[in-house]
Amino acid sequence: MTKKDKQIKQLLDIEVENRNKNDEISYDKPDPLMVARRYDDEFIILLCALFAYGNAKLIVKFLDSLDFSLLNQSEEIIEKELKNHYYRFQNSLDVINIFKTFRRMKQENSLENLFYEAYKKENSILEGIDALIQKIHNLSNYNSQGFTFLVSSPFKRDKVGLIKENGNAPYKRWNMYLRWMVRDDNLDLGLWKNIDKKDLILPLDTHTFKVSQKLGLLDRKNYDLKSALLITEKLKEFDNLDPIKYDFAIYRLGQEKII
């Protein structure tokens, strides 16, 4: 490890230790994880992750307005209760249909089982994510721009069927969900036990992207899946068994304009 890398690692290790505290997430320092942490239901937590785009305060405000117990109610009740709910790119029909779809999925299988079946072949986080996205689309029987933005499209693949590193978005909200579900500390929930945290991928957003460039963790200008994978590989030099423990610290360094 170079002298510069050692300095970056030291800086990030201190940030991780300082921020791995319950009071790091609050209404004063909002984060969708604040709402997700109230539940131990993988479907509710995924809803919190999928709606986690835009201003953190507004995300938390919207999530606070949702009655997640509707996932256990009839589709008629879901339609009635959510008819006035919308968030940015999702109108009320989009919100209603994600709740209906998750209700159906809950009755069929667990998200962890669905993910694990695709992940286990090659310990591929990307294959696991893709399996869940495809399942949601197949079961929803619904299509709109807002719904597709919320859930994401399946990954683009090359001629032999492998997921492309170039040309795919970073799938930040999905990777953030996996960080929450797989890692276990004062911030993350650790509810999934079958996935190895060393396989996780950095949930790349604008903050982690810019901070990673400034710190020298990334010398690429494209905001895409390839960049997320490259930063993840770099972070493995700092902690091979838990590289994504650095995600929240890097995110806050950018959000709070420290770097």
Q: How confident is the model over 204-254, as pLDDT tens digits? A: 999 999 999 999 999 999 999 999 999 999 999 999 999 999 999 999 999
**Matching residue, tokens 């310990």:** 123
- Tell me the percentage of the chain whose pLDDT exceeds 70: 100
User: Which pLDDT score is estimated for 104?
Assistant: 97
Could you tell me if 101 and 50 are in contact, meaning their C-beta atoms sit under 8 angstroms apart? no
pLDDT tens across 21-44, in order?
989 999 999 999 999 999 999 999
* 61-66: average pLDDT: 98
Q: Is the pLDDT of residue 259 over 90?
A: no
- Amino acid 48: pLDDT: 98
The set of residues, in sequence order, having a beta carbon less than 8 Å from that of 81 and lying 6+ positions away, is: 67, 70, 73
> Which amino acid makes up residue 214?
K
**Residues near 97 by beta carbon (within 8 Å), at least 6 away in sequence:** 140, 142, 147
Gap between the Cα atoms of 226 and 223, Å rounded: 8
Q: pTM of the prediction? A: 0.96
- Beta-bridge mates of residue 145: none
The structural domain count of the chain equals 1
Q: Which structural domain range is residue 146 located in?
A: 3-255
Structure-token pair, residue 65: 């307005």
